[in-house]
Structure 1
Amino acid sequence: MIRCVGAVIHDQHGRLLLIKRANDPGQGEWSLPGGKVAPGEDDETALRREIAEETGLSATVGPPAGRLTRSGSHYTYDIVDYSCRVSSWELSPGDDAADAMWADHATFTTMRRSGVLTEGLAELLEQWDRLPREPRPDS
């Protein structure tokens, strides 16, 4: 079993941070930033490293949002996704991220319908109440 971490990050407008995977598993799919926990790393250290490598952002790691087990072609992944905060919003994709974006509710819904998200991501985020937030009408 391979330990992995992921980041659930919303910006000040309720948009969700997504990255497009550059490599397998999930090459070409949009997912949460994250990756494998290296030997000697704790989850927080690994997640801060992965967020920086994939998005160029510095993050504060918060509590777990949820946990899942995913079977790959050769390995099983134990993934803990954490709620995180960032202080800047400008993205600089790199490492395992071919691209990165802040997805609003409408964009995320379109991506979900078109099948470009990592399998099961939308359902898990919905279960964890972590989907992008719909815009609020002006008061």
Structure 2
Amino acid sequence: MTESERVVPCVGALTYDQVGRLLLVRRANEPGRGLWSLPGGRVEEGEDDAAALVREMAEETGLVVEPGALVGRVRRGAYDIADYHCRVLGGRLRAGDDALDARWCDAPTLAQLPLVPELWETLREWAALPR
């Protein structure tokens, strides 16, 4: 397999607060540096999706989560991203190592943010937009 054919398994978290706002992070690294996205990242060797979600959420947001059901999958270049619902168990929201910022977003806020390509459309297709 050539480098251009390599698929990178990734996970993303759809996490909502008690009033239906969606958790987003502003990416510190490429792809999408400076843009807002779902928290998540690469699945490391030896991890399953749930373990990767727990690790990535702690690193990027400071939150402890319990992964839930698969919402959907997207392919963005070499990245094959499985997006799951996550429930917050604890922690304190903060921007971590791969995030410039982290915040809960309602629908009007989400509509004003510079998002990674296709995020709005994908969330709409999955009926996963915040309130």
Sort the TM-score into its range (normalised by shorter chain). Answer: over 0.9
Q: Could you give the per-residue CA deviations for residues 25-66 of structure 1, whole angstroms, max 9, x where no partner exists?
A: 110000000000000000000010000000000001001111
Matching of residues 19-34 of structure 1 within 5 Å: 19-34=25-40
The CA deviation at 1:105 is 1.5
The CA deviation at 1:88 is 4.3
The share of aligned pairs that are identical, in percent, is 54
The CA deviation at 1:119 is 0.3
Distance 1:89 1:107 in 2: 24
The CA deviation at 1:106 is 1.2
Matching of residues 1-139 of structure 1 within 5 Å: 1-71=7-77, 76-88=78-90, 90-111=92-113, 116-133=114-131
The CA deviation at 1:90 is 3.7
Structure 1, unaligned stretches of length 5 or more?
134-139
Distance 1:18 1:43 in 2: 19
Distance 1:63 1:21 in 2: 24
Distance 2:116 2:51 in 1: 24
More strand by share: 2
- Contact 1:8-1:16 at 8 Å conserved across structures: yes
Distance 1:8 1:130 in 2: 8
Distance 1:100 1:7 in 2: 13
Distance 1:24 1:6 in 2: 16
- Contact 1:11-1:89 at 8 Å conserved across structures: no
Match of 2:4 in 1: none
Normalized against structure 2, the TM-score is what? 0.92
The alignment partner of 2:108 has SS state of helix
Normalized against structure 1, the TM-score is what? 0.87
Number of residue-to-residue matches in the alignment: 125
Match of 1:137 in 2: none
Q: Where has structure 1 moved over 4 Å in runs of 4 or more?
A: none
- Contact 1:59-1:86 at 8 Å conserved across structures: yes
The CA deviation at 1:131 is 0.4
Structure 2, unaligned stretches of length 5 or more?
1-6
Please, what is the CA RMSD of the aligned residues? Answer: 1.1
